[in-house]
A and B are shown apart, each in its own frame.
Chain A
């Protein structure tokens, strides 16, 4: 019900936003899911890049919180796959990074259409809310 409202309501309130959280660490996705649902968001989680990619293709999300370093198929692979199919610009992706990629590379990626910003781990939850409410 919430999901339908989020699509039909032109003045989206944060309460009806649907967020996809992608991270291979279950504790991290669990923590985000808990926090976001407490704040009234609808939260879907994925622990692999491949799964996240098919979810992004088949569903609509208001924001995708995407971890860069995941085994096998990382955040960068997800972004590149979306870019190849020209689907990246339809998304609002917030990148999560733990400094395994240099700042310059991250800034380059962030300039792409469809990428909202990047947040460094450990993420301050209030900062994340601020990004999504803008």
Chain B
């Protein structure tokens, strides 16, 4: 914070002058005056014909002149002394003022060895220290600016790279998955069950790769705030019906049970594709955690005043307490034999969180070692006011 020093230029001079002037005047004028009175008194008592009245007047004039000239001399002397003390202080004050104004290298000549010159010396040391510190600060500031520029460039490169990589990885997947599809439906001739099994493995792995690429791209878009939500009115019952059709094959593969809790139909204003993606990711996540054959995954809904709370519950192994705070972090995976077996990008929940928040909701979870895990997310039930109503 800048402090302003208000100093009257004449204040020091006047106070010094007064402090010198008054005692000097008293010291010099009082004895002169007393001596003059005694002298004149003596002269008057010895007044005779030899000494005329005129000479007495001359004496009075002489003494008066001495007194006046002493006063003048004292005033001049005290003024000079005051100026001598005041000038270095004023110079220092000027330097401080310049320093405050941003001129850090003003030079002050040091005269003598008094307190003021000591103060000036200290000020100059401070100036030098400040200038060298400033140089260091400027250097680091420039370095920082350079680093920021470099980081921005890297960030752009990262985006371009992610976009390029997505394209380059998805392109070879097209003929791989295309030929797999042809082979699986026997378009290129009848396959033996063993051959079909091999093709299934190729295709499911290619699908897994496709999902990973999609996840990386989505996570990157969420990071950049590039995801645009295309909200429309959707009927919940229709949506759930379609969703179940998509999820059922995944559940059947592991021979686990999918339960859908009953819900009265309601209309939501949200991005259908993204909502499906959230459910899909949560269910896939649950599938990885539930035991084969005895696993149960339940999709359900609770309605509050303004929100609809969705949940995906599993009877899996639960998330260990020490890992719970990390599960919404990028590339984090709860490292268990089961999750390792299924792989995954470690981005599913990150994407879910980003999507839910992007749709204006919240996501949270409950996890228990014995009961399993339940993921909840809320979405607003409020529909936008239509133009007609407006």
Chain A contacts to B: CB under 8 angstroms: 25, 27-28, 30-32, 34-35, 38-39, 69, 98-100, 102-104, 107, 121-126
Contact = CB atoms under 8 A, between A and B. Distances in A.
Interface stretch (B169-177, B254-262, B277-285, B343-351): B169-177
A124 B182 CA distance: 10
B182 A99 contact: no
B167 A122 contact: no
Interface string B154-166: 0000000001101
Say whether chain B's binding surface is mostly helix, strand, loop, or mixed. helix
A99 B214 CA distance: 9
6 contacts: A30-B175, A31-B175, A31-B179, A35-B182, A98-B166, A122-B170
B210 interface: yes
Interface in B167-225: 167, 170-179, 181-182, 187-188, 206, 210, 217
Nearest to A35: B182
Contacts of A122: 170, 173-174, 176-178, 206, 210
Given A38-B188, A104-B228, A99 B178 contact: no
Contacts of B187: 35, 38-39
A30 B170 CA distance: 16
A27 B170 CA distance: 13
A28 B181 contact: no
Given A38-B187, A104-B228, A32 B178 contact: yes
Q: How large is the interface on B (under 10, 10 to 19, 20 to 34, 35 or more residues)?
A: 20 to 34
Contact of A125 (B167, B171, B182, B226): B182
List the 8 shortest-distance A-B pairs measured between CB atoms, nearest first.
Answer: A98-B170, A122-B174, A122-B173, A27-B175, A31-B175, A122-B177, A31-B178, A98-B167
Contacts of A107: 230
Contacts of A98: 166-167, 170-171
Nearest to B166: A99
Contacts of B171: 25, 28, 98, 121
Given A30-B175, A35-B187, A103-B228, A126 B181 contact: yes
A31 B188 CA distance: 12
B351 to A, nearest CB: 15
A36 B179 CA distance: 12
B167 A99 contact: yes
A23 B176 CA distance: 15
Contacts of A28: 171, 174-175, 178
A123 B176 CA distance: 10
Contacts of B166: 98-100
A99 B226 CA distance: 13
A125 B181 contact: yes
A30 B182 CA distance: 13
A34 B183 CA distance: 12
A125 B178 contact: yes
Nearest to A25: B171
Given A35-B187, A102-B226, A124 B170 contact: no
Given A25-B175, A122-B177, 10 more contacts: A27-B175, A31-B174, A35-B178, A69-B167, A99-B170, A102-B226, A104-B228, A123-B178, A124-B181, A126-B181
A114 to B, nearest CB: 22
A89 to B, nearest CB: 25
A124 B163 contact: no
Nearest to B217: A99
Nearest to B170: A98
